[in-house]
Amino acid sequence: MLTTGFKKRIRDSLRFKSFMLLIFPDWSKSLISWFISYAWKVSSALRQAQRIIVAIAIERREAELCAEEGHCIKLAQRLLILTPAAVHITSMAATQAFFDLCHRPEYIAALREELLQVLHEDEGFKKTTLTKLRKLDSVMRESQRLSPPSLLGFKRTPVYPIVVDEAVTPDSGCFEGFRNYQKRLFPGEANKHQFATISNDNLHFGHGKYSCPGRFFAANTIRVLLAKFLLDYEFDLILIAG
């Protein structure tokens, strides 16, 4: 209900408001937001979300977390931030991976072969089937490496420069769809280098204590989407002139 009704308005408003306010000092942000029309939209969406969420949350969790309305208001705020973050970024990553495959059709046969083999072994789709799609996962991670959701996605202040290390990612400017798959073939590396693996050389989900808890869900969602396309469709990039 919240996702469909508010998604675009919230996404645009939050993005604009949060980026625009970045340039002002913290103490002035609440004052300045009064003069930004996008901030009014955020406040109106927030009130609407609170009307929906507070009622449901009180009803469902009366005894514990939401005994006080204050908690529910915070819950509404968190849900509004989470909705575009979870849904929008995941669909962007899936779309980008799909574009990359259209642009590089040479990967499609190998991915289909892997998919059919794994489905045969597992006699259909199981949750664990998705983790066996190593080539697909590798393409997803490479797609995200070269086309992250936003250049400003990393929200922490680095204490040392973040650089591209050619020793870790040779030919870093090139799309090498199976580079992560190949790294996983080395002894002891089989469970590393995955789309959802966080490490010093993959910061797209943050790192450490506050890294994205939804990354495994995102990885599975994207795998299922791409698997469906690979199994049921032929696709190609059609360039339209003009």
Residue ranges binding ligand HEM (CB under 6 A): 82, 85-86, 89-90, 93, 149, 153, 155-156, 204-206, 210-215, 217-218
Nearer to ligand HEM, 58 or 86 (CB): 86
Nearer to ligand HEM, 33 or 214 (CB): 214
Nearer to ligand HEM, 85 or 119 (CB): 85
DSSP string covering 45-73, please? HHHHHHHHHHHHHHHHHTTTGGGSHHHHH
Nearer to ligand HEM, 33 or 147 (CB): 147
CB 203, min distance to ligand HEM, A: 8
CB 86, min distance to ligand HEM, A: 3
Q: 145 with 103: CB under 8 angstroms?
A: no
Q: 38 with 12: CB under 8 angstroms?
A: yes
CB 124, min distance to ligand HEM, A: 25
The residue whose Cβ lies closest to ligand HEM is 214
Q: Is the dihedral of CA 204, 210, 216, 217 positive or negative?
A: negative
CB 67, min distance to ligand HEM, A: 23
CB 227, min distance to ligand HEM, A: 16
What lies within 8 Å, CB to CB, of 68 at 6+ separation is none
Nearer to ligand HEM, 15 or 214 (CB): 214
Long-range Cβ contacts of 219-223 (<8 Å, 24+ apart): 219/130, 219/137, 219/140, 219/194, 219/195, 220/127, 220/130, 221/90, 221/94, 222/90, 222/93, 222/94, 222/97, 222/140, 222/195, 223/130, 223/133, 223/136, 223/137, 223/140
CB 121, min distance to ligand HEM, A: 27
Number of CB atoms found within 10 A of residue 33's CB? 17
70: its two tokens: 């204050």
Nearer to ligand HEM, 85 or 102 (CB): 85
